[in-house]
Structure 1
Amino acid sequence: MILIPYVSYRGLGLLWPMREITFWIGEHVFGVSAPLVYAGNSRDSTFFWVQTFWLLITAILATSVWSVLDRRRDSYEALHRWFRLFVRFALASQMFEYGMTKVIPIQFPSPSLMTLVTPVGNLTLQGMLWASIGASTAYEIFTGCAELLGGVLLIVPRTTMFGALICLADMTHVFALNMSYDVGLKQISFHLILLSLFLLAPDFPRLVRFFFLNRPVPASPGFQLFQTPRANRIALAAQLVFGAYLLALQADVNWVYWHAEGGGKPKSPMYGIWDVEALAIDGEVRPPILNDYDRRWRRVIFDSPDSVVFQRTDDSFARYAASIDLHNKTIALAKGASKAWKAAFSFQRPADDRLILSGEMDGKNIQMRLQRLEFDTFRLLNSGFRWVRPPDPESLP
């Protein structure tokens, strides 16, 4: 299920033969009539559960047949050493991916402007987790460093056991979060736990003796790939170089992504959350009535330079693709693939925190006066770290 990076378990599972087998088993074994969806960011969809099932059955059958055909052999020491090497780097590559997306804060970005004005009760469990961790960049980087440490220690043969222990702790924590907050990565985190346990298995007796029986333990004999010291030194150097390559590659990919799609990407020239102070549609003034969510907007949010989000009075959102022309002071909006729907506004900005929009939207004349919210009004953004923390006013009698 897990391979060396950029030939991911998910990419392998979507190859034509694997995909068609999964479709067939889903329909004929589990009676799944609806199409199995494998796109999207969830690794816990029905498609992947069905695929995990038949891969597990295939592995059990193949192991049984192999054991019968080669029943005279007691062990596969050479195969175990090479498979262990593969698992070390497979697990390390995943730890590099997990860790680097936190050290370069991509996985849990700072709460977006939409999140800041979304009522807590409207957030999903996963959205709540993402917002809470993203609100503390220091904690996110700390957890990422712990995951990177586990991966780095796996690269060096002598520190494999220590690295596997750290990976086991890290992935148990991740698995608990995935289960508790319904994150669609339950399978992959559980597989990483199993890989950590596999690497620790030869050292279980030594760990029990040291931690629970308080007895001295001998040094681990290690796993030598070759018979000669020179060949093993070359193999060690190759492992260190390849491990450094994997780490550098992951860092480069994440750094580029952070600047393109993460916190380093350009912001809208009108960046901010704007309250709709006044709104007129076809000359009719629309007062801020909460149940007028079909025709009354509460806020306009400019975050990315290529989109605009309207928040209705029921706190739901409508996102539009946007093209902002600062020279001509115009904003053009588009709605998905709909070519019939269009909107175009001219704008005036009499003050830095004031905006006036005039134009046409879906065949209706729109006039809006906007007031930008100051970020200081959000306690989440201005309550930083303090050694001495006074009681919250709400907690005082």
Structure 2
Amino acid sequence: MWLWCYHLGWVVIALAIVAVWTLSDRHRAHYRRLSASLWVFARFGLALSMIVYGMAKAIPTQMGYMTLPDQQLQLVGDTSLFNTLWGFMGASEPYSIATGLVELAAGLLLLWNRTWVLGALGSVFAMAQVFLLNMTYDVPVKQVSGELFLIAVAITTPLWPNLVRVVFNHGTRPVRLWSPLGTGRRWLLKTGIVLKFGLAAALTAQCAFLSMLIYSTYKTPTSSLDGVWRATSFTVDGHEATVSQTSPAPWSNVAISHRDKVEEFGVQAFVSQTPDGRTSRWMLEVNGDQLELRKRKSKAPQQFLHAHQSDPDRLVLSGVVEGKQIAGTYERRFMERSKYGFRWVQPEMDPDAVAVGE
């Protein structure tokens, strides 16, 4: 809701400015130089936005957290459309990198007068795909992607006549752009160029540095607790738990993400899964062999578990859950997706099997 209010506020402010400006400057013949300045500003703003979003995919961090252990136990049928899309993008780093490079290249090309056309067209196609995905997968930033798409389309307006001519196989004509404000003053023009490339270079370097820190954090487990774990035994008050047992239900699987190499970008989460496939997610804090679980970071821990490992692939969890003493013995589980990669030759399909390879 806040995003809608934010946009509504700016629409109201813009309409007020237009009304006042029109009344106070109604005798001006045209606003070509002002319009050209707005076009340059929109092009620069779009370039910076494409660089930011492109870098977050080229160094796969925007969706990279979807490959962490705490994201692996959610059943497909229980996964939201948003997480389905993010999981699809995060599952393939090469695809994420490819889409990011397209956005990053489009943003960089927009900065130069000789290459802005290619950058603008690249931005149109890239943001059209992003906007379509956001709309159809219920991603929360529909307005932002939609606005970037409209800006990209608007920037290409000087090209529309030539694009129509190309479609009908006619010759194109030189595109003449209006001159923005300040182009008659060499010192102001040079200052603008320095500021443009200086800001773009600083933003690109900052995004690359932060993305590398986040990527390194996602890829570096802090302890051997990190991973997906399958229960080999689970007891409640000393008695072996049954599949249909409730209050508490046994945890057939647990997933622990313990990755805080860079604390501000760290991920610490604990997910338990009961035999019916339902998952419960907790924020995690590791203090030695004690795991503190809470639903909100600002709240006190709601569960305390004791963790013991005889070797990196074995885990014993014990504690009090719903007023009863629980103890679970787990072994590390390697997810099936980790077995697959790029293959030129696919396995033969067996028509008698349920699926390929079965």
| Residue 229 of structure 1: how far off its partner (Å) | 6.2
Match of 1:280 among 232, 235, 246: 235
1:219/1:322 CA distance change after superposition, 3 Å: closer
Match of 2:2 among 17, 33, 47: 47
Q: Are 1:298 and 2:252 matched, yes or no? A: yes
| Residue 218 of structure 1: how far off its partner (Å) | 2.0
Match of 1:188 among 144, 149, 157: 144
Match of 1:95 among 50, 66, 70: 50
Q: Are 1:108 and 2:63 matched, yes or no? A: yes
| Residue 213 of structure 1: how far off its partner (Å) | 4.4
Structure 2 Cα separation of the partners of residues 221 and 339 of structure 1: 61
Structure 2 Cα separation of the partners of residues 175 and 320 of structure 1: 32
In 2, are the aligned partners of 1:294 and 1:312 still within 8 Å (CA)?
no
In 2, are the aligned partners of 1:348 and 1:357 still within 8 Å (CA)?
no
In 1, are the aligned partners of 2:305 and 2:317 still within 8 Å (CA)?
no
Structure 2 Cα separation of the partners of residues 60 and 391 of structure 1: 63
| Residue 339 of structure 1: how far off its partner (Å) | 4.3
Structure 1 Cα separation of the partners of residues 186 and 301 of structure 2: 73
Note the 1:1-397 alignment, pairs <5 A.
46-109=1-64, 110-220=66-176, 223=179, 225-227=182-184, 232=189, 235-260=192-217, 263-289=218-244, 292=246, 294-305=248-259, 306-314=268-276, 315-325=278-288, 330-336=289-295, 339=300, 341-349=302-310, 351-361=311-321, 363-375=323-335, 378=336, 380-393=337-350, 394=354
Structure 2 Cα separation of the partners of residues 212 and 369 of structure 1: 70
| Residue 304 of structure 1: how far off its partner (Å) | 1.6
Structure 1 portions without partners, runs of 5+: 1-45
Q: Which structure has the higher relative contact order (CA within 8 Å, separation 6+)?
A: 2
| Residue 231 of structure 1: how far off its partner (Å) | 5.9
Write the letter of the residue equivalent to 2:275. T
Q: What are the superposed Cα offsets for residues 348-369 of structure 1, whole Å, 9 maximum, x if unpaired?
A: 42x5433333444565332222
Helix, strand or coil: the match of 2:252?
strand
Helix, strand or coil: the match of 2:331?
strand
In 1, are the aligned partners of 2:36 and 2:178 still within 8 Å (CA)?
no
Normalising to structure 1: TM-score of the pair? 0.77
Structure 2 Cα separation of the partners of residues 279 and 182 of structure 1: 38
Identity %: 28
Structure 2 portions without partners, runs of 5+: 260-267
Q: CA RMSD in A?
A: 2.8
Write the letter of the residue equivalent to 2:240. V
In 1, are the aligned partners of 2:232 and 2:329 still within 8 Å (CA)?
yes
Normalising to structure 2: TM-score of the pair? 0.84
| Residue 129 of structure 1: how far off its partner (Å) | 0.3
1:340/1:240 CA distance change after superposition, 3 Å: closer
1:249/1:115 CA distance change after superposition, 3 Å: closer
In 2, are the aligned partners of 1:270 and 1:302 still within 8 Å (CA)?
yes
Structure 2 Cα separation of the partners of residues 53 and 358 of structure 1: 52
Structure 1 Cα separation of the partners of residues 349 and 203 of structure 2: 46
Aligned residues: 341
Q: What are the superposed Cα offsets for residues 54-74 of structure 1, whole Å, 9 maximum, x if unpaired?
A: 432442343244224322212
Structure 2 Cα separation of the partners of residues 200 and 161 of structure 1: 7
| Residue 136 of structure 1: how far off its partner (Å) | 0.8
1:391/1:62 CA distance change after superposition, 3 Å: farther
Helix, strand or coil: the match of 1:157?
coil
